[in-house]
Amino acid sequence: MSETDLEQRASKRLYDIAKRWYDQISTGEVPSITLPTRTKQNIVLDNEHDVWKYGERESMRAAGTEKSALHLLKMAYVIWFIKKQIKENRSSTLRELYYISEGWKKGKFSAQDESNFLIEDLEILTDIQREAFHLRPEEDGATIFGDITLRESTRRGLRTMNCRDDVGEAGYQIPTNVEKVDLVSSGARFVVAIETGGMYARLIENGFDEEYNAVLVHLKGQPARSTRRILNRIHESFGLPITVFTDGDPWSYRIYASVAYGAIKSAHISELLATPQARFIGVQPSDIRDYNLPSDHLNEKDIAALKSELSDPRFAGDYWRDQINLQLTMNLKSEQQAFAARGLDFVTKEYLPARLADLGILR
Amino acid sequence: MKRSGSYSVALAEELAKKQRSISVAEFFEKNKHLLGFDSPTRGVITTIKEAVDNSLDACEEAGILPDIYISIRKTGADTLKVAVEDNGPGITPEQVPFVFGKLLYGSRFHQIKQTRGQQGIGISAAVLYGQLTVGHPSVVISRIGASFPAYRFQVQIKTESNEPEILGREEIPWDRLHGTRVEIEFRGTLAAKKRLIDYLRYTSVVNPHARLLVDIEEERLTFERVSDDPIKSPVAIKPHPHGIEIGQLRRMAAASEEFCEPFLIESFSRVGKKTALEICQNAEIDTNTRISALSPGELKSLISAMQRASVPAPPASQCLSPIGEDLIRKGLEKEMQLDFIAARTRPAGVFSGHPFLVEAAIAYGGRLEPEGPAQVVRFANRVPLIYQPGACAITSCVMSVSWKSYGLSQQGLPIGPILILVHVASTNVPFTSESKDAIASIPEIEREIVLALQEIGRDLKTFLSRRDRNRLIEDRARAVCAVIPDIAEKVAEIVELPVPDTSPIEGRIMKKCIVKKSGRNGKVTLEVNNHSNDKGIITIYLTSPDRGEDAIPKPDFLEEFSGEYTKVWQVPITPGSRFSATYSGNAGGSLDVRGIDERKKVVIDLDV
């Protein structure tokens, strides 16, 4: 679909939401919207794409209480704003939108989370991604280092580059709108997506990418949509196996889950963002035990998060249940850089080769 | 009365008997913590507490409305001078040395009724504390009436013999007709000033008949009285056979000339001829023996027979003085702004022969701290308990109640803008220690506290659910009448159609008479939409700086008051009727609607 078509469709669908409210009000009905319930209790496995999406459960929001009415009013303001923005061919960041709402009196957002969440609601209601609304996140994308050649359309025209040969030590920075990037070719064997910058730099310094012909991706914590989207596309385009290497704590498992299965917040577009074939390298709770890694005790929040994961359908398999229960019993967590306790080369010479062989990626 | 559990006093007496070289005063010197003088910060509160308790008790006995003046001044780096002056009945010059200069001297020591102080140790302990820490004698001025002179004393205690030592006594002119003033200088700091003020505030809450005027350094605080009725002084009762111990019985027996049976009848409450006979029989004592002739062994069997005998509960109504639900409410209201108060005075009960009663109150909202655990304020015989909340039966009772059933969240204590007041009154409040900080865990008392808390909890629940219901209605009214019109306007702009009328939604949801005011672009609009089935005439009062001379329709009345104009419209309403008025002017002002049932009207000021 061309960009103009997409924009027209976005405008039309936004108009439809407003028109529905207009008709409701005209017939003496309280305006309302119906959305899938966006909680972990309402995500189901989509068999076609093998990713987790919102289920059947819906919740209706009617303007019968002040809070809900204000929510609808804010949504009306946002629809009005996006329509205008598309028409005038301008764009803004999510943060800018939050600040623009300052002038909307009762429709003003109280925090950026609220406006972000509302934009996601609109994506769900229209079945169109926010890029078509001319909205972009301000978070800088993560970085890629490895043998991938791609073409990016920049304001200075098309640029073709290799993410190992044509970039500096820090790698290629993923733009916020990945749809502007064409993936051309790759000579790599697999991708390692890494949670922390320290480990990403360690692998580059130790020459892991060259030795094993790997592509390294720095996730920068919980990965942005663009990062997850590009991992999905690298997998689709070149058929490269994706692996995820994080800290050994409940928050890091969620990083893996959002790469592999989709995030609860963005489950409406899971098939675009998630890579179900992605494999988890570690740090596994069993690694903490087997390698006797330096570790910390779990705090109350960690324990609550682990328990919550036990009831999360994305972690329902035997593997995760065993690992999480093991971690709860040990009451320990470790960072990925804890491998340094066994020497700086340990992670690249021993741990990763062994784990990748376990996963059948290295032979 | 000899108090059971009065550990230090009993011990002090024992020691004094055995070793003449150790006096009560010396004992105190070594055991300051037992009486609440363990630290310089605490000494201030204890000293003031003892003096104020005495003043309140004295006024109460004389039927006087207390006016108490308290001043606290620094006299050195770590020394303070405290003065407490009251308008009580005064103390005769003969008594002054003993009241202030001898430990364990007091008029109430042997009485069985509710009093604040009990052992006669308090104020003289403060005098001793001053003497030991700074070395100056305390100054006492007292006058017993207009036709008597006022005397000024300089008092201290001979620590070896526990006898008063008068360093000066003179007649002085004094502007008070009757009353007492005591000045004590001692080592102390004002580090616990907030606690001290809390103590005074709570004292004022449970003594609503008293006025306290306080000068702390340069700061002046006044705690006004809200009741002009002096407290009826409780009347002393005779001991109850279940509430007596062997030592006391021995003393009473030694002092009596009576035979056993009349002794029992006359010395104890609720003992008649039949009960007296039964006790004597069970103790295997001849009723015709003189009580003073009984051997220690016989006295022992007598006391155990007394404990076993079934005797009605002691009369509580005269010897106890509850604050009363109404005055607790008034007392709390005057000291803090609150949304809700429930108070309860429970009927009197008995533990081990001692009458007691429990009062409790719960306050909600207002200026109370909106988050965090509830404030629990504890009282025993109208005296605030400031220290050791964790050791106190009141605290554990508050925590044992399931506040969740009354609509509050709870983590041990209930959470939220809550203040809980519990007052335990008794002829013998069972404290955990002599410093009188915490009430001991006595099952009978705990049961009453919990019952009182549950009763006020139910009252609070009713208030909270009514408030929630009102909030819901109000919330819906705001949504429908204030936000939906904005939504209508915005969606009309998006779909490029005229703004739809939202009054059908109002009508369907609210079924009420809605009066709306809004000021926009220099025009003020007043709208009435009657969705209720009521008919009649409503009166709308709109007060603002605008005259509204171009109003359409014209107001029925126009009143001016200090630059503000009140425009009054009288609007006839029938089911479904509408009315609107506009004039040039600005947003703001206030709106009031009369002439229709509160529950049938919704008044919305869109400018707020």
Q: What is the pLDDT of residues B150-195, one digit of tens each?
A: 999 999 988 878 888 899 899 999 999 999 999 999 998 888 888 8
Residue A22's closest chain B neighbor by CA?
B491
Interface test with A, best of B491, B496, B520, B606 (most A CBs within 10 A): B491
Q: What is the pLDDT of residue B1?
A: 36
Average pLDDT, chain B: 86
Are A116 and A261 in the same domain?
no
Provide the shortest C-alpha distance from residue A7 to chain B (in Å): 16
Name residue A181's amino acid. Answer: V
Write the pLDDT tens digit of every residue in A342-351.
999 999 999 9
* Among the listed residues A75, A169, A87, A90, the one whose alpha carbon sits nearest the alpha carbon of residue A122: A75
Tell whether B487 lies on the interface with A, counting CB pairs under 8 A: yes
Write the pLDDT tens digit of every residue in B321-360.
889 999 999 989 888 888 999 999 999 888 888 889 999 9
Residues of B in contact with A67 (CB under 8 A): 475, 479
Are A125 and A47 in the same domain?
yes
Q: What is the pLDDT of residue B463?
A: 92
Q: What is the pLDDT of residue B487?
A: 92
Q: What is the pLDDT of residue A228?
A: 92
Question: Is the peptide bond preceding residue A36 cis, with omega within 30 degrees of 0?
Answer: no
Lowest-confidence region among A183-197, B73-87, B465-479: B465-479
Assess if residue A363 is contained within a domain. Answer: no
Are A309 and A165 in the same domain?
yes
Lowest-confidence region among A96-100, A103-107, B20-24, B519-523: B20-24
Which chain A residues have any C-beta within 8 angstroms of a chain B C-beta? 14-15, 18-19, 21-22, 25-31, 63-70, 72-73, 76-77, 79-80, 83, 106-107
Integer Cα distance of A142 and A258 in angstroms: 15
**Residue A319 annotated among the catalytic residues of the structure:** no
Mean pLDDT of A114-122: 90
Tell whether B480 lies on the interface with A, counting CB pairs under 8 A: yes
Q: Which of B483, B487, B508 sits opposite A21 (nearest CB)?
A: B487
Assess if residue A247 is contained within a domain. Answer: yes
The CA-to-CA distance between both ends of chain B, in Å, stands at 65
Cα-Cα-Cα-Cα dihedral sign, residues A2, A7, A12, A16: positive
Per the residue annotation, which of A99, A172, A261, A351 is the catalytic one? Answer: A99
pLDDT above 50 for B449: yes
pLDDT above 70 for A223: yes
Indicate yes or no: CB of B487 within 8 angstroms of CB of A64. Answer: no
Domain count, chain A: 2
Domain endpoint, select from A86, A102, A136: A136
Confidence band for B530, pLDDT divided at 50, 70 and 90: confident
Q: Other C-beta atoms within 10 Å of B290: how many?
A: 13
Lowest-confidence region among A29-33, B510-514, B569-573: B510-514
| CB distance A191 to A214 below 8 Å | yes
Residue B576: exposure state from Cβ atoms within 10 A (0-12, 13-18, ≥19): exposed
Name residue B185's amino acid. Answer: E
pLDDT above 80 for A321: yes
Q: What is the pLDDT of residue B108?
A: 53
Residue with tokens 């993560």: A142
Q: Which of B480, B484, B495 sits opposite A22 (nearest CB)?
A: B495
Indicate yes or no: CB of B487 within 8 angstroms of CB of A73. Answer: yes
Write the pLDDT tens digit of every residue in A45-63.
888 777 788 888 888 888 8
Q: Which domain holds residue A241?
A: 143-358
Q: Are strands B79-86 and B179-187 parallel, antiparallel or unpaired?
A: antiparallel
Q: Please, which residues bridge with residue B410 across strands? A: B414
Mean pLDDT of B288-302: 86
Provide the shortest C-alpha distance from residue B550 to chain A (in Å): 30
Crossing angle of helices B443-478/B503-510, nearest 10°? Answer: 150
Provide the shortest C-alpha distance from residue A265 to chain B (in Å): 26
pLDDT above 70 for B107: no
User: What fold is seen in the domain B241-308?
Assistant: Helicase, Ruva Protein; domain 3 (1.10.8)
Are A127 and A147 in the same domain?
no
Assess if residue A94 is contained within a domain. Answer: yes
Per-domain residue ranges for chain B? 7-223, 241-308, 338-465, 503-605
Are A16 and A151 in the same domain?
no
Residues of B in contact with A122 (CB under 8 A): none
Mean pLDDT of A75-81: 94
Q: Which residue has the higher pLDDT, A26 or B29?
A: A26
Indicate yes or no: CB of A64 within 8 angstroms of CB of B491. Answer: no
Q: What is the pLDDT of residue A187?
A: 92
Indicate yes or no: CB of B494 within 8 angstroms of CB of A18. Answer: yes
Indicate yes or no: CB of A63 within 8 angstroms of CB of B488. Answer: no
B503-605: CATH number: 2.60.40.2960
Domain endpoint, select from A101, A136, A171: A136
Indicate yes or no: CB of A69 within 8 angstroms of CB of B480. Answer: yes
* Residue A96 in tokens: 């800018």
| CB distance B86 to B68 below 8 Å | yes
DSSP output for B509-539: HH-SEEEEEEEETTEEEEEEEE-SS--EEEE
pLDDT above 80 for B409: yes
Provide the shortest C-alpha distance from residue A65 to chain B (in Å): 5
CB within 8 Å of B211: residues ≥ 6 apart: B65, B66, B67, B68, B222, B223, B224, B225
**Phi–psi pair at B449, nearest 5 degrees:** -60, -45
pLDDT above 50 for A123: yes
Q: What is the pLDDT of residue B27?
A: 75
pLDDT above 70 for B372: yes
Residue A111: exposure state from Cβ atoms within 10 A (0-12, 13-18, ≥19): exposed
Mean pLDDT of A123-131: 87
- Identify the CATH number of the domain in which residue A191 sits: 3.40.1360.10
Confidence band for B11, pLDDT divided at 50, 70 and 90: low
Q: Please, which residues bridge with residue A265 across strands? A: none
Are A149 and A17 in the same domain?
no
Confidence band for B3, pLDDT divided at 50, 70 and 90: very low
Mean pLDDT of A78-101: 90
Write the pLDDT tens digit of every residue in B415-438.
999 999 999 999 889 998 877 889
pLDDT above 90 for B413: yes
Are A34 and A151 in the same domain?
no
Mean pLDDT of A145-164: 91
| CB distance B214 to B126 below 8 Å | no
Interface test with B, best of A21, A67, A75, A87 (most B CBs within 10 A): A21
Highest mean pLDDT among A130-134, B150-154, B162-166, B504-508: B150-154
Are A319 and A173 in the same domain?
yes
Q: Which residue has the higher pLDDT, A195 or A40?
A: A195
pLDDT above 90 for A234: yes
Assess if residue A348 is contained within a domain. Answer: yes
Q: Other C-beta atoms within 10 Å of B211: how many?
A: 18
Confidence band for B5, pLDDT divided at 50, 70 and 90: very low
Assess if residue A61 is contained within a domain. Answer: yes
| CB distance B576 to B529 below 8 Å | no
Integer Cα distance of B238 and B270 in angstroms: 9
User: What fold is seen in the domain B7-223?
Assistant: Heat Shock Protein 90 (3.30.565)
Are A152 and A124 in the same domain?
no
SS3 per residue for B542-603? EEECCCCCCCECCCCEEEEECCEEEEEEEEEECCCCEEEEEEECCCCCEEEEECCCHHHEEE
Confidence band for B117, pLDDT divided at 50, 70 and 90: low
Three-class secondary structure of residue B423 per DSSP: strand
ipTM computed for the complex:
0.73
pLDDT above 70 for A31: yes
pLDDT above 60 for B119: no
Indicate yes or no: CB of A70 within 8 angstroms of CB of B483. Answer: yes
Mean pLDDT of A94-123: 89
* Among the listed residues A190, A265, A266, A274, the one whose alpha carbon sits nearest the alpha carbon of residue A228: A274
Residue A80's closest chain B neighbor by CA?
B494
Indicate yes or no: CB of A18 within 8 angstroms of CB of B507. Answer: no
Are A45 and A165 in the same domain?
no
Mean pLDDT of B278-291: 85
Confidence band for B391, pLDDT divided at 50, 70 and 90: very high
* Among the listed residues A87, A86, A88, A110, the one whose alpha carbon sits nearest the alpha carbon of residue A98: A110
Confidence band for A137, pLDDT divided at 50, 70 and 90: confident
pLDDT above 80 for B521: yes
Average pLDDT, chain A: 90
Domain endpoint, select from A136, A168, A194: A136
Assess if residue A342 is contained within a domain. Answer: yes
The class level of CATH for B338-465 reads alpha beta
Write the pLDDT tens digit of every residue in B14-73.
655 555 556 666 777 777 777 778 777 888 888 998 899 889 988 988 889 999 999 999
pLDDT above 60 for A262: yes
Integer Cα distance of A343 and A89 in angstroms: 54
| CB distance B246 to B299 below 8 Å | yes
